[in-house]
Structures are given as structure tokens and as C-alpha cells.
Amino acid sequence: MPLTLYFHPVSQPSRSVLAFLKLTGIPYEIKVIDIMRGESRGPEYAKINPAMTVPAIDDDGFILGESEAIVRYLMNSRKVGEEFYPSDPKIRAQVDKYFPYHHNTVRPQFSKCFMATYIDL
């Protein structure tokens, strides 16, 4: 049974998990959760992800939310190769340091650009 990605295209964390799946060739199915219409806040999705956020995955009954946790899980549970997650601890640390940097520095700035461009406020 392939991995299921609960996803919405407007969600940058969802897109980052999707990009990782495509780059690595990990088989997956997508279930779009329309966050703009509140689908992530419904009782059915809350059973999948109690935090009611996207993305989330279902890997044969193992449910996980949060894009960073999902990508780390996939790097550790699949043989994605040294180019994605090196085994050398010093080189791996260089990959690991990017996760918080991305969420704390890059993503907030791109979110502002996205909101200004695509969301009519």
C-alpha cells in the first residue's frame, strides 16, 4: 500500500513534502484537504491529524504530521540515498541545520510574498 500524503497546494509545508517524494521516487497517493474550505478542521481529518494541519502522511497505518518530521521519517525509513541524507554525521548535521533555518527564516518571508501576491486582503 503506497504512502498517502494529505496535502493542500497552497500549503508550503505540503509542497515541500511533495517535492521530496517526487525527487526521491517514493511511491505515494495524494488526498487533497481543502484548507480554504475548512476541511482540515472537520472531525474526519482530526482523526488523521489531531493538530488539524497539513501535511500529514499515512504510511500503512503510521500517521505523522509536520513537514519536517515527515521528511526526516521518510529519509530514515526509506533508502533515499546519500545525496538526500548523508550517513556521515558531520555532513548530515549540515542537512539537519537547514530545517529550523527554513521554518524560522525562509518560510515566513516567502509566506508574506505569497499572501501579498495571491490572497486579496
In the prediction, which pLDDT does 88 show? 94
Q: Note the pTM of the prediction, 2 decimals.
A: 0.83
In the prediction, which pLDDT does 96 show? 86
Q: Strand 56-59 to strand 3-7: parallel, antiparallel, or no bridges (unpaired)?
A: antiparallel
In the prediction, which pLDDT does 116 show? 72
Question: Taking the chain (121 residues) in consecutive chunks of 10 residues, what is each chunk's mean pLDDT?
Answer: 92 92 96 93 93 96 95 93 90 84 67 68 50
In the prediction, which pLDDT does 29 show? 97
Which residue do the cell numbers 504510511 mark?
59
